[in-house]
Amino acid sequence: MAWELKSDRPIYTQLQDYIKLGIISGRYLPGDKLPSVRDLAEEAAVNPNTMQKALAELERLGMVYTQRTSGRFITEDIKMIEDLKESIAKEHITEFFETMKKIGFSIQETIQMIEKEAKELTI
């Protein structure tokens, strides 16, 4: 994983985003066991407390759950994962449309360009 952390946003929210991405992209599968907080923290080069905070938040959201003594696991609620995937995608889509609008393209023009670009990418 990348673990590229920027300084203009709280670290723990970025950690959350990376883990969420791991879940929705299928790298972490439903029911899988997550690495330990300590291992994840080391991997991301952050303080374990920061990673702990990120995971606690994800747990509050129901994305992961803890089994005492045996570790943290990815939720098995597939619908929740699908919903998260969709909502994150929508965020990026909205942001993308806004960027294109700033450049000077309407939604229609953006659609046209993206379809054209898609054809070139899938040749």
Partner DNA sequence: GTGGTCTAGACCACC
Partner DNA sequence: GTGGTCTAGACCACA
Q: Binding residues for DNA, per CB under 7 A?
A: 10-13, 34, 36-39, 46-50, 52-53, 55-56, 59, 66, 68-72
Phi, psi of 27 (to 5 degrees): -70, -40
Identity of the residue, 32 or 110, whose beta carbon is nearer to DNA in the bound complex: 32
Question: What is the DSSP code (8-state) at residue 8?
Answer: S
DSSP 58: H
Using CB distances below 5 to 8 A depending on partner kind, what does residue 63 bind out of a copy of itself, DNA, none? Answer: none
Q: Tell me how far, at minimum, the Cβ of 30 lies from DNA, in Å.
A: 17
Of residues 26 and 31, the one with the C-beta less far from a copy of itself: 26
Asked if 29 is part of the footprint of a copy of itself (rule: CB under 8 A), the reply reads no
Distance, in Å, from the CA atom of 25 to the CA atom of 50, rounded to the nearest integer, reads 23
Cα(61)–Cα(107) distance, rounded to whole angstroms? 33
